[in-house]
């Protein structure tokens, strides 16, 4: 493998196979693939089952004009105006972190930050997604938390399913199976449908993601807010158990509210908001706090960045404060350079394409991969690439690099639709933690991060224990 890598160094692409399917690993011309020549590569290779209510109709699974139409309809739900409305719901959950870490600071016991932040993001996405109060930080056995966490648990059969889907093999369609199995699929589907029906029956609105999806379903588009942008949305909740008990009674009849296609498309978008928002942000925050614990000077500079912004806002963390933290932006960008949650991008060629500057013509259905880990750790782009160095993202250094040298959310028309929400969630949580606590390594903190080889998302293998000391101002 080492000799093969040496032989391919400097080449714009490398050919290989995924099962029996030819694949091109692209090392150059990335802008062409993702943006300039997007019409040749509009689809991902991901191939799920049409009968899977959670993944089959999710945005990243859709292809062609169908993807384009759904993407255009969903995009307004992630506008800056909608994020400002959702911010207050995220901030409400972030405030609960103070109580949790206060107890940890009092005892002096290490905290497995990976587990704590997964609970925090569960609380956030269940609140912002459905108005469900899981209280995972207090009650880790909540059914919603338990089923959502199963989404990323490893199993041999699950690994085969995911590998086949990312390789573009229609395995699930052939066996008519779902990615997560019927138990998780039925649970999530029930919660989503019954929450929607409850809101239809009661007229309850909360300005969360589910309300936006309901608007999209009923009216064909996401409408502008009728209230002022900074007006506090409805903060009322229902517990998970409410939906599993009271809404399962005969008092609310689901009937044929949705057609099969419309229903599964709706359910898929709602579920992916939960699954993607839960795991990706918690892993990014965990990696970030790990490095800040090891780099006290960087941590203090981030804290000063937050303090300065908060002082300008009468001591409060609001939407504007979170968007006025330049050094925290640099720290998060560096975290995502070292730990891109999806370590590769994939596209499928939909019509014959001649690779610019070569005689190579890609046939229809050839898959193309882009290794984000390879780009993000290229020493010719980032000097000393294994070092955690936020200065890589100073304005001066960013101007020296190609825009497509940092792609944690992808780029072009298929850029991650939830990028704004994911960054907002991470920044709010980190701002609360770093403003109030000093983060330090402990005797059990790993000397380096090892990746879990069983998951398709980049996450650490094992715990990440850290210590927290309350800061007295």
Structure tokens at 121: 């993001």
Q: With CA atoms as reference, report the closest residue to 342 among 283, 388, 386, 382.
A: 283
Q: What is the pLDDT of residue 70?
A: 87
Residue with the larger pLDDT of the pair 206 and 430: 430
Helix (H) or strand (E) holding 309: helix 296-311
Structure tokens at 83: 């994020």
CA 158 to chain centre: 20
Rounded to an integer, the average pLDDT of 411-425 is 93
Q: What is the pLDDT of residue 230?
A: 53
**How far is the C-alpha of 412 from the C-alpha of 42, rounded, in Å?**
10
Neighbours of 386 (CB within 10 A): 10
Q: What is the pLDDT of residue 154?
A: 63
DSSP classification of residue 36: I
Q: Where are the domains of the chain?
A: 2-470
Q: What is the pLDDT of residue 270?
A: 83
User: Are residues 243 and 195 in contact, defined by beta-carbon separation less than 8 angstroms?
Assistant: yes
Q: Is the pLDDT of residue 261 over 50?
A: no
CA 6 to chain centre: 34
**How far is the C-alpha of 321 from the C-alpha of 323, rounded, in Å?**
5
Q: What is the pLDDT of residue 240?
A: 47
Specify the fold of 2-470: Cytochrome p450 (1.10.630)
Q: Is the pLDDT of residue 224 over 70?
A: no
DSSP classification of residue 232: P
User: Are residues 303 and 434 in contact, defined by beta-carbon separation less than 8 angstroms?
Assistant: yes
């Amino acid at each position: 493998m080492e000799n093969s890598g040496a032989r391919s160094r400097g080449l714009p692409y490398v050919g290989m196979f995924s099962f029996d399917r030819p694949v091109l690993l692209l090392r150059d011309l990335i802008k062409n693939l993702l943006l300039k020549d997007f019409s040749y590569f509009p689809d991902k290779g991901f191939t799920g089952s049409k009968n899977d209510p959670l993944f089959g109709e999710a945005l990243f699974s859709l292809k062609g004009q169908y993807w384009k139409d759904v993407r255009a309809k969903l995009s307004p739900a992630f506008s800056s105006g909608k994020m400002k409305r959702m911010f207050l719901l995220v901030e409400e959950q972030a405030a609960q972190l103070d109580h949790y870490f206060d107890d940890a600071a009092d005892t002096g016991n290490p905290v497995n930050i990976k587990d704590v932040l997964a609970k925090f993001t569960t609380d956030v996405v269940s609140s912002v997604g459905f108005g469900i109060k899981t209280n995972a930080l207090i009650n880790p056995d909540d059914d919603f938390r338990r089923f959502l966490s199963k989404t990323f648990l490893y199993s041999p059969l699950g690994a085969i399913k995911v590998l086949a889907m990312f390789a573009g093999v229609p395995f699930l369609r052939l066996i008519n199976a779902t990615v997560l199995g019927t138990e998780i699929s039925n649970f999530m589907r029930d919660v989503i449908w019954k929450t929607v029906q409850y809101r239809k029956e009661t007229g309850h609105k909360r300005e969360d993601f589910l309300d936006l999806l309901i608007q999209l379903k009923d009216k064909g588009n996401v409408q502008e807010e009728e209230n002022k942008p900074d007006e506090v949305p409805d903060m009322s909740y229902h517990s998970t158990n409410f939906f599993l008990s009271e809404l399962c009674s005969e008092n609310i009849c689901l009937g044929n509210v949705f057609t099969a296609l419309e229903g599964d498309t709706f359910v898929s978008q709602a579920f992916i908001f939960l699954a993607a928002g839960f795991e990706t942000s918690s892993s990014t925050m965990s990696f970030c706090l790990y490095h800040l614990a090891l780099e006290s000077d960087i941590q203090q500079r981030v804290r000063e960045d937050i303090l300065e912004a908060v002082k300008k806002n009468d001591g409060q963390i609001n939407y504007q404060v979170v968007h006025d933290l330049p050094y925290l932006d640099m720290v998060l960008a560096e975290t995502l350079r070292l730990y891109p949650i999806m370590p590769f991008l994939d596209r499928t060629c939909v019509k014959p394409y001649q690779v610019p500057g070569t005689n190579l013509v890609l046939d229809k259905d050839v898959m193309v991969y882009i290794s984000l880990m390879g780009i993000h750790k290229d020493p010719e782009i980032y000097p000393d690439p294994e070092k955690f160095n936020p200065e890589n993202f100073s304005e001066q250094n960013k101007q020296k690099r190609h825009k497509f040298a940092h792609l944690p959310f992808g780029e072009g028309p298929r850029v991650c639709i939830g990028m704004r929400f994911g960054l907002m969630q991470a920044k709010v949580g980190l701002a609360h933690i770093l403003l109030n606590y000093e983060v330090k390594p402990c005797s059990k903190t790993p000397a380096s991060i090892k990746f879990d080889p069983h998951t398709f998302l980049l996450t650490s293998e094992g715990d990440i224990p850290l210590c927290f000391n309350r800061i007295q101002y």
